[in-house]
């Protein structure tokens, strides 16, 4: 099984960069989906990421070699590609039926699934302080999202259906991430992402209406480009973080993304209220946010047994 490099500070920094980019992403996707269908958005994100990463690796002379490709597990590459494609589709479909904040909190099941996967498959271990962090983190989420959870319970069918799709998307993402970590034995993180991006773009090509991209106004075009670059940078940072840090700890840091999302939603609602309504956050929610950050820090920074 793959072993982390032990450069935990680099792993932490890359995880925090991923949190920032993924926290902002649901807002950009919500705006983009006002003008484009799900399939075209996904295809564009993967295609641009594949093209830019191929150019970068080509210039660096780091494109995967025949020898590396032969030594890699094609079964794991197929699993990573298919399940990441499923994650993108399920998350976007769910996002179109719910809201950025709701989608971001539900997708955090992926962090839980990834953390459990790290404990089970990679034999990672939590100390007592980290299990306490898990408890604090869970309580924080309950408080932080109590209003969203209450809305979920009383929601109409479309909202519930969208939320269910996001839960499934979280499960598929965790499977992708675990496959990604194991593939690091034979390929670099960038090489893995190049193959996965190309495979995902190929899978969505038959369903794409690329002509609609040329009819976008400036706002939707810029948000689409941001989503594509976000895919390239955020997933690159995430993939590289797994090379230097345990999956269970990376997953704990990624769970902070909803905090970034709510802050970003508030900022957008103030700057451009016609694009997005603000999310309500009570004092209980603020307390929850503090507990989420505290619990995630305890999990991520605790010593390994």
pLDDT-based confidence at residue 269 (cuts at 50, 70, 90): confident
pTM equals 0.79
Is pLDDT above 70 for 65? yes
Q: What share of the chain is helix, strand, coil (3-state, %, to 5)?
A: 80, 0, 20
Is pLDDT above 60 for 1? no
Per the prediction, the chain carries an average pLDDT of 84
Between 266 and 149, name the one with better pLDDT.
266
pLDDT at 93 (0 to 100): 93
pLDDT per residue over 40-53, tens digit each? 999 999 999 999 99
pLDDT at 153 (0 to 100): 62
Is pLDDT above 90 for 108? no
Mean pLDDT value across residues 224-229: 95
For residues 92-101, b (16+ Cβ closer than 10 Å) or e, as one string? bbbbbbbbbb
- Of 14-23, 124-133, 153-162, 252-261, the one with minimum mean pLDDT is 153-162
Mean pLDDT value across residues 134-150: 76
Measured N-to-C along each axis, helices 218-244 and 8-32 cross at an angle, to the nearest 10 degrees, of 160
Is pLDDT above 60 for 100? yes
Between 204 and 129, name the one with better pLDDT.
204
Q: Work out the percent of the chain whose per-residue pLDDT is above 90.
A: 38
Report phi then psi at 165, rounded to 5.
-60, -40
Mean pLDDT value across residues 257-286: 79
Is pLDDT above 90 for 251? no
Here the contacts of 197-201 (C-beta below 8 Å, separation 24 or greater) are 197/46, 197/47, 197/49, 197/50, 197/53, 197/231, 198/46, 198/50, 198/54, 199/77, 199/78, 199/81, 199/82, 199/85, 200/42, 200/46, 200/81, 200/84, 200/85, 200/88, 201/43, 201/46, 201/47, 201/50
pLDDT-based confidence at residue 278 (cuts at 50, 70, 90): low
């Amino acid at each position: 099984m793959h072993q982390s490099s032990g450069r935990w500070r680099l792993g932490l920094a890359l995880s925090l960069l991923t949190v920032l980019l993924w926290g902002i992403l649901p807002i950009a996707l919500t705006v983009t989906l006002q003008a484009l269908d799900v399939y075209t958005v996904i295809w564009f994100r993967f295609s641009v990421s594949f093209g830019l990463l191929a150019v970068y690796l080509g210039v660096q002379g780091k494109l995967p070699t025949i020898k590396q490709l032969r030594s890699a597990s094609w079964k794991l590459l197929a699993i990573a590609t298919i399940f990441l494609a499923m994650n993108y589709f399920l998350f976007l479909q769910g996002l179109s039926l719910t809201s950025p904040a709701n989608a971001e909190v539900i997708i955090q099941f992926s962090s839980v699934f990834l953390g459990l996967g790290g404990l089970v498959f990679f034999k990672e271990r939590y100390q007592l302080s980290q299990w306490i962090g898990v408890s604090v983190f869970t309580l924080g989420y309950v408080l932080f999202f109590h209003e969203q959870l209450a809305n979920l319970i009383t929601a109409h069918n479309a909202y519930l259906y969208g939320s269910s799709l996001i839960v499934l998307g979280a499960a598929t993402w965790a499977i992708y991430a675990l496959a990604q970590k194991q593939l690091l034995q034979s390929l670099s993180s960038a090489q893995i992402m190049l193959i996965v991006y190309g495979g995902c773009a190929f899978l969505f090509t038959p369903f794409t209406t690329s002509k609609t991209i040329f009819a976008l106004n400036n706002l939707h075009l810029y948000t689409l480009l941001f989503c594509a670059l976000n895919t390239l940078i955020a997933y690159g940072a995430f993939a590289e973080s797994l090379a230097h840090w345990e999956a269970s700890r990376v997953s704990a840091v990624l769970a902070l993304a909803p905090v970034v999302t709510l802050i970003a939603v508030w900022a957008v609602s103030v700057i451009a209220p016609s694009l997005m309504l603000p999310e309500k956050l009570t004092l209980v929610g603020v307390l929850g946010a503090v507990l989420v950050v505290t619990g995630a820090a305890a999990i991520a920074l605790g010593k390994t047994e």
